[in-house]
Amino acid sequence: MYGAMLVIFGIIIHSLVVYAIGLALFVDELAFLLLRGKTHADNYSWQSLVGTTLFVVLVFLAREYLVLPFT
């Protein structure tokens, strides 16, 4: 979970770029983890792709709230 570590690190060092990269990596794997995927094929299943799309949309809609600590 490099993404989760980068999110925390980005908040600590107050770097929006590190935070954004970490959040993107975390969101990319979130649906796979929630579906308890075990293989590479599970990562490209339609459930995982729909879940990832939904999480990306949620992050897009909450973008102003997510960057508040950096303003």
Q: In the chain, what are the domain boundaries?
A: 2-70
Q: How confident is the model at residue 9 (pLDDT cuts 50, 70, 90)?
A: very high
* pLDDT, the chain, mean: 87
pLDDT of residue 41: 77
User: Residue 45: is it exposed, middle or buried by C-beta count within 10 angstroms (0-12/13-18/19+)?
Assistant: middle
pTM reported for the whole predicted model: 0.77
Give per-residue pLDDT as tens, 18-48.
999 999 888 888 888 888 877 777 777 888 8
**Contacts of residue 16, Cβ cutoff 8 Å, sequence gap at least 6:** 10, 67, 70
Encoded tokens for 67 = 């960057």
User: Residue 62: is it exposed, middle or buried by C-beta count within 10 angstroms (0-12/13-18/19+)?
Assistant: exposed
pLDDT of residue 7: 92
